[in-house]
Structure 1
Amino acid sequence: MDAERLASVQALAEMLTARNLRVVTAESCTGGGIASALTDVAGSSSWFECGFVTYSNEAKSRYLDVSPLVIEEFGAVSEQTVREMVAGAVNNSLGDLAVAVSGIAGPGGGSLEKPVGTVWFAWGNEDQQITECCHFDGDRESVREQAVLHGIRGLCRWLCC
């Protein structure tokens, strides 16, 4: 793990431990990369609850309670979908807060409205979330790496608020 990612995970671990909170991940385009980064740190079992990798729309609905109507109207890569992913991740686990990520890592799959590199994030719990849309440059691996780091940093920001 690179130094920047390690420092972010360690900062997150300290905040979660100090507040006695457990985190959940709900990932699509990162394919479990955030969960992997979090569990790379020894002792993460005290603050990491679980991770959901819901790549298909059906999995988002089945395991995270994302409404199929939301996906149909707004798409899997949308603010509405990641909000529901966060709420579903917390509701379907023993976690206190979650990060959700859904995006278009490429090289295909983009559109004029949502080009490759578009990634939606949400952080929060079942009642309150903050969201952000990012546009990352680079190839598939680069987009995913940037999304993993941004997801972890967003958890830190959520806990600082």
Structure 2
Amino acid sequence: MSTAPSPTFDLARRIVETLTARHVTIGVAESLTGGLLAAAFVEVPGASAVLRGGVVAYDTAVKHSLLGVDAEVLAAHGPVHPDVAVQMAVGVRTALMLDGEEPWIGLSTTGVAGPDAQDGHPPGTAFIGLAIGHEVRFVELHVDGDRSAVRAAVVARALSALEEFL
């Protein structure tokens, strides 16, 4: 018995098709989504042509040490901040460089899945970072629901934000 693809799968499939046609690659940096965003791409047959890899930077120190997020930004604002999301998106491109070539796209997630607030941010607060070429931007969201619902919603919004940016 087969089931219809989920809306998230359809989004990821369209993105993989677009990136494949454009011959560009993507790297993903995740905090609160913990690998779910990379997994959404991996679900799509042929994703290996465009997905360079992913970094789960759940610990704040990893955001700095591996992704190059500015320590002063982290000290001033904590990990749940638009500047952190953007710096993660830029930093994952450097972290996943191969043969001197960065992925053209960096996509990141950071936020609070819950159940408790973090650094004054309520559960469901999240930021998505996008870095495509020399352009960077962020998306802020506030999602209701339990941890699972928040994480799933952030993945879906990250994919839709990327599709809109493309």
Normalised by the length of structure 2, the TM-score is 0.90
* 1:11 and 2:11 aligned: no
Q: 1:129 aligns with which of 136, 140, 152?
A: 136
- The answer as to whether partners of 2:139 and 2:161 remain within 8 angstroms in 1 is no
CA–CA distance in structure 1, aligned partners of residues 93 and 132 of structure 2 = 6
Which position in structure 1 is the counterpart of 2:107? 99
Structure 2 counterpart of 1:100, one-letter code: S
CA–CA distance in structure 2, aligned partners of residues 80 and 61 of structure 1 = 12
Which position in structure 2 is the counterpart of 1:57? 60
* 2:58 alignment partner, SS class: coil
Q: 1:126, CA displacement in angstroms? A: 6.3
Unaligned stretches of 5+ residues in structure 2 = 97-101
- The answer as to whether partners of 1:29 and 1:55 remain within 8 angstroms in 2 is yes
Which position in structure 2 is the counterpart of 1:109? 117
Note the aligned Cα RMSD (angstroms): 1.5
Provide the identity percentage.
Answer: 28
Normalised by the length of structure 1, the TM-score is 0.93
CA–CA distance in structure 2, aligned partners of residues 37 and 60 of structure 1 = 22
* 1:157 and 2:164 aligned: yes
Structure 2 counterpart of 1:99, one-letter code: L
* Deviates most, 26-35 or 89-98: 89-98
- The answer as to whether partners of 1:100 and 1:122 remain within 8 angstroms in 2 is yes
Runs of 4+ in 1 over 6 A off after TM superposition: none
Q: 1:85, CA displacement in angstroms? A: 0.5
Unaligned stretches of 5+ residues in structure 1 = none
Structure 2 counterpart of 1:16, one-letter code: L
Q: Deviations over 1:41-78 (max 9, x none)?
A: 11110010000100011100111001111101121000
The verdict on how the C-alpha distance between 1:28 and 1:126 changes in structure 2, with shifts beyond 3 A counting, is: farther
Which position in structure 2 is the counterpart of 1:74? 77
Q: 1:152, CA displacement in angstroms? A: 1.1
- The answer as to whether partners of 1:91 and 1:126 remain within 8 angstroms in 2 is no
